[in-house]
Amino acid sequence: MADNEIHTAWIVRKYIEQSKISGFDAMDYAQRRHEVGKLRKAELLRLQKSPNRNHNKQTKKNYRQTDAYIHLSHAERMSLIEELADLVGSWSFARLFGESINKIYFDPSRARMSADEQALEQLVSRFEQYLKIVAKSTNERNLFGALIHDNNETVSKKHTGLMKRFHKYGTFWTSIEKIIETPLFVNSELTSLVQIADLCCYALRRYFENGETDLLNRIKDRFDRKNSKIVGMRHFTDPTCQCMFCQ
């Protein structure tokens, strides 16, 4: 696994082939890979004859995305993600910032921007405030921060444009002085901290959508706080929400 991307949503899935192999847990890794590979090859052959080409394409994609993990049982994959979440939770030097928007409660015409743009504006503002506070409290005038994004062509154009606007006119909440101008776009396969951010997003999504607390509790202490109150994370939703961030 050492050189493979940690893509949480793909790792924690149930792989149907594994449940079809009797004695899977007792096999060694090579055997497990071999058995899963056999079932997958047979399935691809079967799909080749099917008239639904999309299904074939989607299956190939699923196989490609999960190939690095097929030798690990579901329990082993879950404990990998839990261990990583514990590791993030132990990083006392790290701060997490996040924004979660429930689209049912978001009105783009009133906000005069898309949910995606509003989320970026929120994150940028909070990160900027954080940098200003640290710069002031450490008397470090030359302290700056950079934004590193998972690369995606449409997003990169849009976010670069938005950042230029924020630099020129500020966000709704603050001027931008501490975040360097151009966001940096990286390939997440090669950048482990983007994978960690993805894991944190996964934990948040599972909490908001399914009420699962296990992963989130492991990383919760890392959200930026002011006077012990979480200020690094915002949940934009029904005003009566009682979640750990809205309370």
Q: Contact positions toward Zn ion, by CB under 5 A?
A: 235, 241, 243, 246
- Cα distances from 180 to residues 143, 177, 224, in angstroms, run 10, 8, 20
Closest separation between CB of residue 132 and Zn ion, Å?
26
Q: Which is nearer to Zn ion, 227 or 242 (CB)?
A: 242
Closest separation between CB of residue 222 and Zn ion, Å?
18
Q: Which is nearer to Zn ion, 109 or 242 (CB)?
A: 242
Q: Which is nearer to Zn ion, 10 or 208 (CB)?
A: 208
What is the chain's length? 247
Closest separation between CB of residue 217 and Zn ion, Å?
16
Closest separation between CB of residue 234 and Zn ion, Å?
9
Q: Which is nearer to Zn ion, 77 or 235 (CB)?
A: 235
Rounded distance between C-alpha atoms, residue 234 and residue 94, angstroms: 18
Q: Which is nearer to Zn ion, 181 or 238 (CB)?
A: 238
Rounded distance between C-alpha atoms, residue 94 and residue 187, angstroms: 22
Could you tell me which residues come within 8 angstroms of residue 25 by beta carbon, excluding any fewer than 6 positions away?
73
Closest separation between CB of residue 129 and Zn ion, Å?
21
How far does the chain reach from its first CA to its final CA, in angstroms?
Answer: 39
The HSE-up count of residue 216 (CA atoms within 13 Å, CB side) is 18
